[in-house]
Chain A
Amino acid sequence: MTRYDFEDWLRYRLSDLPQEEVDRIAAFYMDAIEARMEDGMTEEQAIYDLGEPEALLEEIRADLPRHVIYKPVHKSTRPANRKSRIMTLILVAAILGVALPALVMVLNFSPVRRSQIIYEAVSVPVEAPAISWEGDESEYTFDPSVHGLNKVEISAALGRVSVEPCDDNWVHVIGNDGSFDANVRGTTLYVENVNDDLLVRMPMAWYLRLSIDSDVGDVEIYEITAATLDVSADLGNIFLHNVTAAERINLAADVGNIEGSLKYRQEDYCIDVSVDLGQCNLTDSVNDGTPLTIAADLGSVKIAFED
């Protein structure tokens, strides 16, 4: 391993930390390696002298403020023994002379626990995203105030990307466990290597830039007001539901349609639309509104405006 490989590895393993902190730590260790080389060690000896990399990483993180999150480590299911329940229902109904449907309704509302999730406490640096798992799903939660986030950038190879608002002050990234990577680098939250359906919930208290690049799959955005909105779909449709952005909106679909509604009036947008083969209900306009650029190669464009 060269010292540059070591630096790349260190930066990658610390990529959930604020960029400034990563730069400081990387510079510190690079100087440590080079000082040892000046002292007569080879590059390999100098890196070895730093200590075992994983242990080193653990020591670096050990000093960061921590909080505890809970991760499910065991999920057991107690079968409800459906057949005997039905037989019991019939018998009780017969004895009581009660209408069976009424009895079924009552019993279905009674709490019968079908599964039990045992949680393990996991201590993580407070600057890292809070992660929780529920069954097969992962939810990564990011606090814009901690990370200084101003942008969310999503790159999806496969699957539907849905974006909706949430009431709390966090960005939530939810999808099947292992089907995406979510990391903060600089002031941007990168959601990458998405290969299954993904849900991103954006906090309405924060004004964030949103960029979505989808290869195969639809993009659906609900009730979001972003700072900027850039959406590109290669083999999928783009659906917008009462969406807007303050500075610009760019929508591009190679094969699919672009449909839905934007907030405010059509006159509030400066429209530049380009549709090659499909139909389009919009025409270009020149005014002082928010730039709205729409490009559809094969599909159609149908956008309504909801003031």
Chain B
Amino acid sequence: MDIQLKRGILEICVLKALEKQDSYGYQIIKDLSPAVTLSESTLYPILKRMQSAGCIAEYSVEHNGRLRKYYHLTPVGEGRIQDFLVEWEEVRRAYEYIRGE
């Protein structure tokens, strides 16, 4: 799969994982594991980009003597998920055309 396309899909997956509840790195990876394979080294830059884009916000919670970073989906992030779903319909129609059905 084209790397940019894959990157875009992974970003939306990460946003979706935060839709139900705030979460943290390893938990996001676990939650997404049935659908996509993700490592911390892929997740970290995604979280950084999404934060820069205003799609998520982060906050820290003390956990076992350390500060654990939690991520929260913002309204901008919600909008990104909805935009993806609309755009994907267009992709699906193009896919059906290419497939010839």
Contacts and interface: CB of A to CB of B under 8 A. Distances in A.
B41 A60 contact: yes
A23 B44 CA distance: 13
Contacts of A60: 41, 44-45
Contacts of A32: 25-26, 40
Secondary structure of the B contact surface, majority rule: helix
B27 interface: yes
Interface in B1-57: 24-27, 39-42, 44-45, 48
Contact of A28 (B27, B42, B44): B44
Contact of B44 (A25, A30, A55): A25
A55 B41 CA distance: 9
A59 B24 CA distance: 20
Contacts, number: 45
Nearest to A57: B41
B67 interface: yes
B64 A35 contact: no
A34 B64 contact: yes
A31 B68 contact: yes
Contacts of A56: 39-41
Given A50-B39, A51-B39, A31 B26 contact: yes
A36 interface: yes
Among A31, A50, A60, residue most surrounded by chain B Cβ atoms (within 10 Å): A31
Given A31-B24, A35-B26, 20 more contacts: A25-B44, A27-B67, A28-B40, A28-B69, A30-B66, A31-B25, A31-B68, A32-B25, A32-B40, A34-B64, A35-B25, A50-B39, A51-B39, A55-B41, A56-B39, A56-B41, A59-B41, A60-B41, A60-B45, A63-B48
Interface of A: 25, 27-32, 34-36, 39, 50-51, 55-56, 59-60, 63
24 contacts: A25-B44, A27-B66, A27-B69, A29-B40, A31-B24, A31-B26, A31-B68, A32-B25, A32-B26, A32-B40, A34-B66, A35-B24, A35-B25, A35-B26, A36-B26, A39-B26, A50-B39, A50-B41, A51-B39, A51-B41, A56-B40, A59-B41, A60-B45, A63-B48
Interface of B: 24-27, 39-42, 44-45, 48, 64, 66-69
